[in-house]
Structure formats: structure tokens, C-alpha cells
Amino acid sequence: MKQALSLAVLLLLAVGLASALRGPSVGAEANRTALFDDQKVNFGRRYTSRAREETGAPNVVASVVVTYRGLDTLGEVAVLFIAATGLATLLHTGRQRVSGTAPEGASLIVFTGCRFIFPLILLFGAYIFVHGHLTPGGGFQGGAIVASGFLLVYLGCRDREPSRRRLNALESLSGLAFVVIGLIGLAAGGSFLLDFLPKGSLYALFSAGIIPLVYVFIGFKVGSELGGILGDLSGARR
Amino acid sequence: MVSPILLIAVPLGLAFITPLLGLLWEKPTRYLPAAGMAFNLVVGLLLLPRVLQEPWVVRTAGFPPPFSIHLMAGPLGVALSLLIALVGLLVAIYAIGYVREGAVARYHTLYLLLLTGATGMVLTADLFNLFVFFEMLCISSYALVGYSGDRAGIESSAKYLIQGAVGSSLVLLGIGFVYGLFGTLSMADIARHVGSISPMKVFISVAFLVTGFGVEAAVLPLNAWLPDAHSSAPSSISAILSGIAIKAGVYAVARVVFTIYGAGTIPLLLLVVGVLTLLIGEMSAFSQNDIKRLLAYSSIGQIGLIVFGLGLASVSGVRGALFLVVSHALAKALLFLSVGYMIYRTGSTEISALHGMGRRMPVSSLCFTIGAFSLVGLPPFIGFPAKFTVIMAALEKADPGFTALAAIVLLGTVVEGAYFFRIVQALHFKAPPEGAASEQTEHGEAPVSALVPVCLLAALIVAVGVYPAVLTDYLGPAAMDLLDKAAYIHHILGV
Amino acid sequence: MIVFQIVLLAVMLVAAISAAVFKDLMNAVIACALVSLVAAIIFYFLQAPDVAMAEASIGAGLTTGIFIFAIRRTARREEDETSP
Amino acid sequence: MSFVADYLHYTGCFGLVLIGLYIVLVKSNLIKIVIGINLIDTGVNLFLVSVGYIQMGTAPIFSEAQAAGREMVDPVPQALVLTAIVIGVSVAALALSVAVRLYEHYGTLDLSRVRELKW
């Protein structure tokens, strides 16, 4: 009964989607040749043609993420922060922590390997988020790579796990830094998240104004938050 | 210089500070939400006279609209963020003493972020930004519903999370369609071009958006999560969820329907959905024995009434709906807050446990009575002019169909009156249950930090009920903000 | 080229269906990770290297890790719906 | 052939969305449902990126050795998807923590057996 009902709902949805896509289809491809092209605003074309001059970053996605849609990114960082905080709240309130069976230690090879690889992963993550405005990647990807380094630690060498207090402090401070950068823009030019730093020369590491700075903070924040989430769910000691 | 962006940036910054402070010294963290909301209240009051003359379009990153995210601090946005700040401030003061168990610093962080999400939703003029703030609101409420960590809290959090997550995915799907059709995400820009696209495609994208936001707005088929979530959460969170969170969902639906799509056939659908939601909510509330579940179902009924007012799609109807938003936010927050300590003292949520509360907790009971009467719509309270405006707006249409719907709404009010009078009678005119008198020491009045916000809310309800003019002056411009699509486009894009 | 993309999409859908069918949650999670991984390759072919990196590291890597931690702390098998 | 190219990715991503929705609607195991939500998210993300795709376009990154004359694909949906991926992982993490707590309370993840409150 439930299954049949669900299938009926899905069928309805599928028909709706198919009819929505019929005819001249949606998407940038269709918009490229649309009729009312002359008067229509198109974010994509505007950004690909102007972003390099306006922000100084060759990676257009990075300039969209940090500059044009910076408020979204701030909100998204806040969402991840909410998830990390909420997860810690849900897992640790209203009960005493049941100290389950201690996870068995990994073998010597795994242990040593983890200890050896962990700094390299951190370095790679840092490379990704520092170069976010030049190459594919950026704060989120670099942060996720840093967090996967923590995943390795939680799996392979538990006694090396990072201090939770330091992770929490790091995520708060980097979030705060993002807000402060935005407010400096407001004070300097009357507009939140305004790029108040010089653009520098194209393709240089120190260029593109606030984009690398913001990406570094996002990288720290995402890395420490995802690391904290992993630590909480794996039942690490606090 | 005050800028509307501060309404979002400052609470967000405070929320990031809260856990940091919590690491060093946990005690002062509980004052931070109140501080943030007080700041928002002041900024909102400073902005209000200015935006009433002309809406303030805020750029981010210094690019002219529509090329970066922009906020539209119009009469509606600022008025609603004032409401959020006011209710948020009072509930935050209540929570200073009420929330003692568990990770207190985390509670206050999540609470601040919930309100930041709601404030961002009412201010933003960008569709995807609306989604991001919506997610902030939703995810922090999932976590806060399960804050106490007991069985009911976790279970209702799970249900709420599943339905909310699917709803959010639908919203994102709708945004994808909109972007594919229009190549833009600014709501004003979309509204400008909506006529040039075949209505069928626009309808499908709007249907996804309305369904997705409708989950949070708790309109009829999408509200299975609400009674559980609102009744299992801590009382201070129930007050915010009922008072603010649902309203934010309703606001998103209204913004999409009126501003993007323009008033077309959808308001008619809203009308029907609203009346059905009202009836189901009031009928279910009538049969409840659990006080918090009763209040939660009553919220569904009131949301039905608000959606009904919006569905009239006339200036007076929307004005009435906004009036109801204010009155319901105040009254429902008052009810949940005053019930909070009664439940805390008796340890039970059954209505029978509240017998004779009028003698043991006189101030709380009196304030509860004021809130209940206001919700029913009795004259000296704010609920009366609000309901009156909606009913008059329905009768204004001079159409037998609308008159019949107005009659149904009045029927719902009668049911509402019946169950609220039952509780008020239980509070004041029934003997306390056996054995309660022996533990007299525990049954005293709520502490001062809880009584202050409760009494302030009650005072506000009476004050606005006696002088509705203090509010109605702002409701007209706010309603026009929602309905007048051309002005909205003009303010943002300058065309 | 287009054949390759069709194959990728087919693999993705098959993995998704098997994620729905598997009773062993660990297998379902691995199938889910496979979906994310294939999606990352598709993102790359759709000229979205940024998204491909994010999906590969977050979607296929970390999400799987989170799922596995959660399954380790709960039950590994999905009970049959018919059992009492 | 052009028809296939146009609709190929839409078919794939909506297939994913529908499979995910099926899991959410039919299954009652909470972790299975979270897997379903995850699949829906992936499908929607794929849809957003396909919306911004232009045939024969290049990635929206300028480089010093730029292949001139080819249009770039739309960067905006890609930026949106970056946001959506992070939001997706947030929801999944929170849902799984709820699942862990639910299991501690009830000893099962089966929502149809967790019936303390009315559905």
C-alpha cells in the first residue's frame, strides 16, 4: 500500500519534471540562444566576461563564491557550524558518556603510516586552499582534505587525535575572522564583504584581494569543523 | 552609520564568539543572545523611519544589483526583523534562567543562529540566499528540538529532519529550474522577466519552491512534523518555533508567490489550503489532553488563518495576515513561556495536572489567560483587531464563496474558544489534584527572569489591543511591500 | 565520448538502485559512495573541476566516513519490514 | 544525437532524485533514509551543474595558456553547488547523530517501530 502510494507520487513527479524539460530546454545552453537576449541579465556571462578584471582572480568560481556571492558563503559556513554544534549537543547532552569498548589499536604499520602521512595530507589541504583563487579548489575542498587527514587519525592512530578545545577555538576564530573581514569592507567602502585589498597582478599567489584570505579562513574553519564532526561521531574522548 | 547588514552580521559574529567564550568561562554565554537581539531591536528601530520613506537596498561586495547578493530592507523586512528581535530578546531573557541542563553555551549558539537565519530570510532579495538562510533556520531547529536528548525529543527531531531535508532539496531543485529559465537569482530580476517565459515552466519551478518552503510553513499536507517537534522541544524553543520559525516559512512562500510569480491563480489554492489547515488544526487541538501538543495544533490552526489572509491577495487581506503574524507570534510565545514553568513545577504536560494553577502560580496563569484570550480573538487584546481585519477583508470581496469561507473561519474560532476556555477554567476554577498541596514549597511562582518577559509580552498584547493604531500604521506599507511587484522591481533595479 | 558519459550515468544509477536494495547498511553506504564518486567524474566532464573536487572529497570521502562511524555505533543490518 | 546529449544528464540526475525519494518514502530504517536524502542531494547538485553546462565550453578558470575562442560554462551553478554540497553534508551529519541517539534510546533504527508519539 505504502509502496504503491509512493510509486504513484514518484510517477507524478517524473511526469512533472519531464513536462518541465520539454520544448526549448532550460539551462545556460538554451539561454545562449534565447530570444530576449538583448535585455536579459545573465549572471554567468557577466561573470565570465568581467570577473577577472573586477576581482583579479583567474578562477571565476572562486570569485563568485567569495566576492559576488560572499553572503551565501558566510551563511554556508554558519550552516556547517550549526551542524557541528548541533551534533555535539545531540551526542553529549542528557546522558553520561557510555565508555564503550576501547577501540583496538591499529597495527604498527598502520600506526606509523598514519603518523607519517598525516602531515602530508595537511600540507596538501593547505596547498589547495591557498591556491583556491588560481587553480580548481579552494576553502571547502582544502578544508575537506584536511578533515580527511583527521579521519585517518581517528582510524589509524587514536592517540594522536587533535585537542577538541583547540579545534573549537580554531573554528570560532576563523568564523569570526570572516565576519570581521566583511565588516572591514563595510567600514572601508560602505558595503559588506567589499574587497578592500589591492588586486595585485593576475596569476600571482598574492593577488585577488580578499579572496585568498577568506579562503584560508574557510579552509581552517571547514577543516576543524568536519574534523570535529568526525571526532564526535567516532566517539572520541573529549 | 547603521546598515541593515548589521542585523545579520552582528548576531552571526556573536554566535561565533559564544563557543569561544564558553571555553573560557561558560556563565556569561547565556547573556549573549539577549545582547544580540537587543542590538537588533535598536538597529531595527533606527532603520524603521527611514525605510518607511524609501526602502534601503543593501549591496554586498560593492556591485550594483542584481550582480551580487543584495538585501532589500523594505517596510516588511524591517518590521519582521523587529518582530524577530523583540520575541527573540524576550525568549532569550526567559532562557537565561530556564535552560540550565546540558551544553548551555551550545544552546545559546544555536539559538542565536536560528534567529540570524530568520532575520536573513526576511531581509534578503536573492533567491539562493533565501535558501541558505532558510537552511540555517531549519538545521538549527532540528538540533534544538532534540536538545533535551530524551526519547520524544530525539524522535521528533528525526521526523522533522527527514521532512525538512526533503523539503530543502525540493527548494534547491526549484532554484535550479529558476536559474535555468532566467539566468539570474535576484528575485526582482526574476519577477521582471517572469512574463516572458511560458507559464507552465514557471509554474513547475514555483510549485517546487512553494512545496519546499511549505514544509517549514506547516501548511496542510506538509505539517506532520509540527505537533511532535513543537511539543517535544524545550518550552523556550517551542515559543520560538511557533512564534518565529513557521512565520519565516510563510514569509518565504508569500514572497515567492506574490513577488516572483505575481498574484495569479496560486492565491486561490492558498485560500483553500489555509481554510483546511485551520479546520484540521483546531479540530485536532480540541481533542488533545497534552497542553504543549494542544498549543502546537493551535499553531497549525493560526497558520491556516494567516495563509487564508494571504490567499485573499488583497491589500486588506495581506494586512490582516501580517497583523495576525504579529499577534500570533506574541501570543504563542507568551503561552509557551508561561506554560514552561508550570510544566517544570508539576513535571507533567497533562492538562489535568494544571488544575488550580491560578492559585499556585497566579502571575503565570494570568498571563496565560491573556494569551489564550488574545488567540481566540476577544476584544481588549491584540488578537481581536487582527482577526477582525482578516474577516473584514474576506467580506470585502462581496462574493458568496468568500463569505462562506469567512463563516468557516469563524467556526474555527468557536472551536478554538472552546478548548482555550476549557484550559482557563482548569487553571482558575478547578481544585488542585490530590497531593499537590503537600509539596507546596516546589510549587511557587516562576523566577523573576522568566516573569519579566512573560509580563512584558502580556503587556504588549494588551497595549496593542487597546491602541491598534501603533501597529496598523506600519502594516499598510508592509503589505504593499509584499504585493506591489512593480515597486519592488523599481527599488532594486531602478527600472 | 557520449558513450562514455552514458556508461557513467548508467553505473551511477545502478549504484543508486543497489544502495536502495542492499540490506546490509555498510554495503549500501559503499554504493552511495560510488554514486558520489561517479558524480564527481561527471562533474569533471561537465567542466566543473571545483565541484568535482568538492564532491570527491566531501561527498565520497568524508560522508562515507561519517556514515561508517554512525553504523559502527548502531546496527549494521536493516531489519526486514515484515518481521514483528 | 543532439537530443540524447541534451537530455542525458537530466535523465541521470532526476533518476537519482527519484531513487532517493523512493528510499525516503518507502524505507523505515533511519540510516537508509539518510542515504536516500544523500542521493537526492547528489541528484540535485548534478542537475544544477548540468543547467550551467554549455556544449564544448571550458571550465571557468582562466589560465596563462588560454584556449581562446571557447565560451566558458556558467560559473554560478558551480558556486551554488559548492554551497549545496556543504549543506548536504551538514544535514547528513546531524541526521546520523540523531540516528545514534535514537538507537541508544530504542535499540532500533526502524522508525515504524518507534511510535511513542503519533506520526
Tens-digit pLDDT profile for residues B350-397: 888 888 888 888 888 899 999 999 999 888 899 899 999 999 988 888
- Of the pLDDT bands very low, low, confident and very high (cuts 50, 70, 90), residue C82 is very low
pTM: 0.93
- The C-alpha angle B25, B31, B36, rounded to 5 degrees, equals 120
- Is the four-CA dihedral A87, D101, B167, B89 of positive or negative sign? negative
Output the average pLDDT for chain D.
Answer: 83
Per-residue pLDDT reduced to its tens digit, B219-266: 878 888 888 888 888 889 999 999 899 999 999 999 988 888 876 777
Q: What is the CATH number of domain D2-56+74-113?
A: 1.10.287.3510
d(CA B175, CA B198): 17
- Of the pLDDT bands very low, low, confident and very high (cuts 50, 70, 90), residue D52 is confident
ipTM for this model: 0.92
* pLDDT of D14 strictly over 90: no
C-beta separation of D86 from A222 below 8 A: yes
Query: Please, which residues bridge with residue B56 across strands?
Result: B73
Per-residue pLDDT reduced to its tens digit, D60-71: 888 766 656 677
* pLDDT of C21 strictly over 60: yes
- The C-alpha angle B407, B305, B41, rounded to 5 degrees, equals 145
Count the domains in chain C. Answer: 1
Mean pLDDT to the nearest integer, B67-94: 91
H and E: helices and strands count for chain C: 4, 0
Whole-number pLDDT of residue C32:
93
Q: Where are the domains of chain A?
A: 53-79+106-238
Phi-psi region of B62 (alpha: psi -120 to 50; beta: other; left: phi over 0): left
The share of chain B scoring above pLDDT 70, in percent, equals 97
Which cell numbers in the block locate residue A38? 538583448
Q: Is residue C81 part of a domain?
A: no
Which cell numbers in the block locate residue B126? 536573492
Q: Is residue C78 part of a domain?
A: no
Whole-number pLDDT of residue A37:
42
Tens of each residue's pLDDT in chain A, 238 residues: 677 888 888 888 877 777 766 655 555 555 554 433 444 557 777 787 777 778 778 888 888 888 888 899 999 999 999 999 999 888 876 554 554 555 566 788 888 888 888 889 999 999 988 888 888 888 899 999 999 888 888 887 766 677 778 888 888 899 999 999 888 888 887 788 888 787 777 777 777 788 888 899 999 999 999 988 888 888 755 4
In A22-138, where does DSSP find H-type helix? Answer: 28-32, 43-55, 60-63, 70-92, 108-130
Length of chain C: 84
Strand ranges (E), chain D: none
Mean pLDDT to the nearest integer, B334-355: 86
Q: Is residue C65 part of a domain?
A: yes
Which cell numbers in the block locate residue A220? 581552517
Per-residue pLDDT reduced to its tens digit, D70-81: 778 888 889 999
Q: Where are the domains of chain D?
A: 2-56+74-113
Q: Is residue C84 part of a domain?
A: no
Contact check, Cβ <8 Å, D35/C29: yes
Q: Which residues of B368-401 are buried (b: 16+ CB within 10 A; e: fewer)?
A: bbbbbbbbbbbeebbbbbbbebbbebbeebeeee
Interface check D44 vs C, CB under 8 A: no
DSSP letters along A38-68, please?
GG---HHHHHHHHHHHHH--SBHHHHIIIII
Find residues 55-84 of chain D whose CB sits inside 8 Å of chain A: 55, 59-64, 71-80, 82-83
How many Å separate Cα A179 from the centre of its chain?
A: 16
- List the single residue in C17, C50, C79 with the smallest CB-CB distance to D78: C50
Whole-number pLDDT of residue A162:
75
D108 half-sphere exposure, CB direction, 13 A CA radius: 14
**CB-CB neighbors (< 8 A) of A170 in chain B:** none
| Residue ranges making up the domain that contains C32 | 2-73
The share of chain D scoring above pLDDT 90, in percent, equals 36
**CB-CB neighbors (< 8 A) of C17 in chain D:** 19
DSSP letters along B257-299, please?
IIIII-SSSHHHHHHHHHHHHHHHHHHHHHT--BHHHHHHHHH
Per-residue pLDDT reduced to its tens digit, B257-310: 888 887 677 778 888 888 999 998 998 888 888 888 999 999 999 999 999 999
Burial environment of residue B421 by CB neighbours within 10 A (0 to 12, 13 to 18, 19 or more): middle
C-beta separation of A41 from B189 below 8 A: yes
Interface check C21 vs A, CB under 8 A: no
Alpha carbon separation from B260 to B112, B188, B328 (Å, rounded): 29, 7, 26
Chain C nearest C-alpha distance from A225 (Å):
12
Of B97-106, B270-279, B478-487, C45-54, which gets the smallest average pLDDT? B97-106
